[in-house]
Structure 1
Amino acid sequence: MTETKIMVSELKMEDSDLVKELAKYIENKTNAKVETGVAEITVKGEDRTASRVYLRVLLRKFIHSKDLKEQFRVTGGKDNALIIKEKKVYVEEEE
């Protein structure tokens, strides 16, 4: 059984209901055990259904389905973790 942590603190600042929706989405797609913490979601499941690669794809699909693709991205973390980070927006200054 594998365990993957998804850091969702920046997503939670946007809307706390998104974290609950994400947990349900992952649970439905993977049939894995999903636990929601303060700033993270822990996914425990079989090798194929809860692999880090597959979870990354699911996170990207979720972000796209909620029209958050311009605001958030998925990056890898340490020790089998994924992080949902807010994209930095650069504005060019006119002189």
Structure 2
Amino acid sequence: MAKPMTKSQLVTALAEKTESDKKTAGASLDALIQIITEEVSNGGAVTLPGVGKIYCRERPERMVRNPATGEQIKKEADKVVKMTIAKALKDSVNG
């Protein structure tokens, strides 16, 4: 498996694709991350066309096991961020 792309590599690639400088590309990426974070934190969802949908899902209270002791403990309800990958991206990876 290849190493994941770092933020600086992503900014460089974005600057090349948009034919802009790295500062503008970095600011655009930061703004996009901030918008997604705010929307998902407030219970909404964000669809990135061709990539997927990012959303927040609530998990109910449940019983879990401590792997070290085997003790059953109650875990409070919480929220998790999920992402559903778009079919177009899946097809391009597999095809």
Q: Same fold (TM over 0.5)?
A: no
TM range (shorter): under 0.3
Compute the TM-score of the two structures, normalised by the length of structure 1: 0.26
Q: Which has the larger radius of gyration?
A: 2
Query: Which structure carries more helix by proportion?
Result: 2
Larger RCO (alpha carbons 8 Å, 6+ apart): 1
Compute the TM-score of the two structures, normalised by the length of structure 2: 0.26
